[in-house]
Structure 1
Amino acid sequence: MRLWIGLYLTRLPLEVFCPNWSADQCSVVLEQEGVLAVSRRAHQMGVRPGMRRSGALMLAPEARMHERAPQQEQEALHAVAMAMLQYTPQVAPGDGASLLLDVGASLRLFGGIRRLCRLVQESLRKLGFTGVLGVAPTARGAWLLACAGGGRALKLESLQRALQRLPVALLPPLQRHQRWLDGIGCLSIGDLLRLPRPGLQRRCGGEVLEMLDAAQGLAPEMHQWLAAPPSFRARLELFGRIDNTDLLLAGACRLLQQMTGWLCAHQFAVLRIRLLLEHERGRAACPPTPLDIVLAEATWREDHIVRLLKERLAKLELPAPAIGLVLEAPEVEPMAPLSDSLFPEPGGSPQERQRLFEVLVARLGAENVLQAFPKADHRPEVANRWVPLHEKVRPADVAAQLPPRNLPRPAFLLPKPIALLLRDHRPYYGSRLRMVSTAERIEAGWWSQTQSRDYFIAEGEDHAYYWVYRERSPGSEDIRWFLHGLFA
């Protein structure tokens, strides 16, 4: 099933230059001394698009004037397109401030068109933009529905009925012929379709007929798909000097939306991200503050990364207010396939446990969350060391440290062996200890650190089990016993 989402960004100049346009702030965007867009407060004071700058200042003297910059608008549109790549790899630019998404192959993955539209709107909200969605079997039809205020037509028959009611002014080639069309009473696309095609082509050009045929599915459509760059680096300029971590997190979430789309486009999962907080330039220049997050397990989901960023930003002390954010993904790997197990693991999946560990590292610090790391030594007290979670433990190292023939090991190993008393030639620890296993001889160490021991499992009169050893000293007749571990 071929299905398209037309995404038309409304109020794009305002959202680029005036991020608080919905608040009680009077803002006006100008283009060649003419008013292009106004905020709600400016609209209440009588300022309308199409006015001159002088007229707007007479009605709203306190209005903040912003000159339109098409380059920044293109960057904003590109940021939205990058974020949309998480829903489909086929994203194409449309006319004006719009995007076209071929989502026919993504419907089953995201649970249907309604849920997919909600996810697209949620991504737009996180990016700080507003938009209108149109859904249709053709790209041009979806674009027309979006420009008309939104709508959904899942079949060609319903799309053709919906197109009949749309105004002809939506078609860009007809805007310069609007007076002629009004004069002959041609107000809707339905009226336009009833006109003779040869005469319409001579008067308005063949581009109009091509658009109409493409919208109705009568002609093929060609698109230039957006290609994600080979590496990811996105920058966001903040509107002011920010030292509030909540505001910085909101800006970082906008960049994370772009990174999520880039990861999905390349089928990558990220292992390490870097957030650079840029500070004031000029005489009071300060180098950017880096914030690195190392993941124990590669991921491409933004919700987990947002939790880690929130923990790290809450502990971060800024040397100066931030004026910009830069997000990089310096370490990625191919996205792992989904698990093929039929039943979920009890107690949570390995991914959930890794996410818990990463949250603990972000909250407590890497030096306070450690894991066991085997060492090539048979002496129990030196056969392990504790390292941070981001250091990888190879399975070969673990296999090399397993005891021969799977001999039992205690659950609790004492940090230092305890010398035991001897009573009637038997070791004593609260009560007489009775050996219930054969000896396991361990000889290891180099030169002066050589150890020679015979380990036993001993049972006390309270039926508790202990791991004890008898020290073997060549040339000495003294026998010394030590307690080294406790069995659970």
Structure 2
Amino acid sequence: MAQLHQNTKHQTAPPVPVRGNSDCNRSPSDTLPKARRRVVQEPLWVAVSFPFLPLEALGKTTQQQPMAVYAQQGQTHTVITPNQPAQKSGVRSGMTLTAAQVLSPALQAVPQDVSAESEWLARLALLASRWTPAVSIAGDDLLLEISGSTRLFGGANQLLGKIRSRLTFETQSPCISAMPTAASALLCVRNGKSLCITAKEGIHAVIRKLPAKAVVAGAKQQRALKQYGISTVGDLLRLPRDGLARRLGPDLVHQLDRLLGKQA
């Protein structure tokens, strides 16, 4: 699901005067006005993930008994999201519903409602538009571009604090990451990293320890990662680009470039 809520960038910055050559012998009427230029403001992307989205969409976040949302995958019922009481019993996302019920006999299982999740995300996207007009839905996450709004709220940290405070009130344990590229922000929140990095030079240090499988799709490529002993994003970034493109495909090279802001 890549539903666009509002796909516009809103970047504003005050004009900054450029110093010109002074000429004290000229009268004010003969002197040209100083040239002015606009400061190019680097993008700042905020990604937000909602670990309990399937439960929240069903209004099931206040349940005290063990509960899990499940989905049918092939012939198997698979746990999508367990609540915190179920997690305390050992129930985890990805296990079969049968195994989860062995661990927690009192587990209440409810089927996933994808439509309700879409409506809940759309509501959250509308809420986020109070901070920036550039809001989109990326899969099960929100993506905001806030560089044009930071001055209005007293700076990036203050704006992020407002976003975190309101979304924590609306949802359970949201993960929020601010990064210079949209791809790196989404990668971080999808791996449970909540942080704020404003310079592109800081991206590499943050993503290099994340699992390589988070940026590699497809069973064939996943097997290739094991074959070549690649376990982290940092391992991928250290490899020669030509060799990486031959072994794992040029799309992966382009994806790594997008993570680091080398490609739009």
SS in 1 for 2:262: coil
| 1:176–1:97 distance in 2 versus 1, CA, 3 Å | farther
Give the alignment partner of residue 92 of structure 1, picking from 120, 126, 136: 136
Could you say which residue in structure 2 is the equivalent of 1:57? Answer: 101
Could you say which residue in structure 1 is the equivalent of 2:122? Answer: 78
**1:287-328 deviations in Å (ceiling 9; x for gaps):** xxxxxxxxxxxxxxxxxxxxxxxxxxxxxxxxxxxxxxxxxx
| 1:46–1:205 distance in 2 versus 1, CA, 3 Å | same
How high is the sequence identity, in percent, across the aligned residues? 30
| 1:9–1:192 distance in 2 versus 1, CA, 3 Å | same
Determine if the alignment matches structure 1 residue 12 to structure 2 residue 56. no
Equivalent residue runs for 1:134-149 within 5 Å:
134-148=177-191, 149=193
C-alpha contact (below 8 Å) 2:68/2:110 kept by paired residues: yes
SS in 2 for 1:51: coil
C-alpha distance in 1, partners of 2:236/2:71? 32
SS in 2 for 1:130: coil
| 1:12–1:112 distance in 2 versus 1, CA, 3 Å | same
SS in 1 for 2:106: coil
Give the alignment partner of residue 181 of structure 1, picking from 225, 240, 261: 225
Give the alignment partner of residue 107 of structure 1, picking from 150, 154, 160: 150
Amino acid at match of 1:6: A
| 1:203–1:68 distance in 2 versus 1, CA, 3 Å | farther
C-alpha distance in 2, partners of 1:166/1:79? 30
Larger radius of gyration: 1
Highest RCO, 1 vs 2 (Cα 8 Å, sep ≥ 6): 2
SS in 2 for 1:47: coil
Equivalent residue runs for 1:38-437 within 5 Å:
38-94=82-138, 96-148=139-191, 149-171=193-215, 173=217, 177-220=221-264
C-alpha distance in 2, partners of 1:46/1:165? 26
Question: How many residue pairs are counted as aligned between the two chains?
Answer: 218
TM-score, structure 2 normalization: 0.75
| 1:211–1:63 distance in 2 versus 1, CA, 3 Å | same
Report which of the two has the higher share of strand: 1
Cα distance, 1:175 vs structure 2: 6.7
Cα distance, 1:214 vs structure 2: 1.1
Amino acid at match of 1:181: L
Greater shift in the superposed pair: 200-209 or 133-142: 200-209
| 1:206–1:93 distance in 2 versus 1, CA, 3 Å | farther
Determine if the alignment matches structure 1 residue 27 to structure 2 residue 67. yes
C-alpha contact (below 8 Å) 1:29/1:67 kept by paired residues: yes
Cα distance, 1:186 vs structure 2: 1.2
SS in 2 for 1:34: strand
Amino acid at match of 2:262: L
Equivalent residue runs for 1:431-446 within 5 Å:
none
C-alpha distance in 1, partners of 2:107/2:59? 12
C-alpha distance in 2, partners of 1:209/1:121? 33
Cα distance, 1:139 vs structure 2: 1.2
Cα distance, 1:84 vs structure 2: 0.6
C-alpha distance in 2, partners of 1:153/1:38? 31
C-alpha distance in 2, partners of 1:162/1:53? 35
Q: Which runs of 5+ in 2 are unaligned?
A: 1-40
C-alpha distance in 1, partners of 2:159/2:219? 33
C-alpha distance in 1, partners of 2:146/2:157? 12
C-alpha distance in 2, partners of 1:176/1:37? 27
Equivalent residue runs for 1:472-487 within 5 Å:
none
C-alpha distance in 2, partners of 1:172/1:19? 33
Could you say which residue in structure 2 is the equivalent of 1:233? Answer: none
C-alpha distance in 1, partners of 2:234/2:103? 41
C-alpha distance in 2, partners of 1:180/1:101? 34
Cα distance, 1:18 vs structure 2: 5.1
Cα distance, 1:112 vs structure 2: 1.2
Could you say which residue in structure 2 is the equivalent of 1:242? Answer: none
C-alpha distance in 2, partners of 1:201/1:168? 15
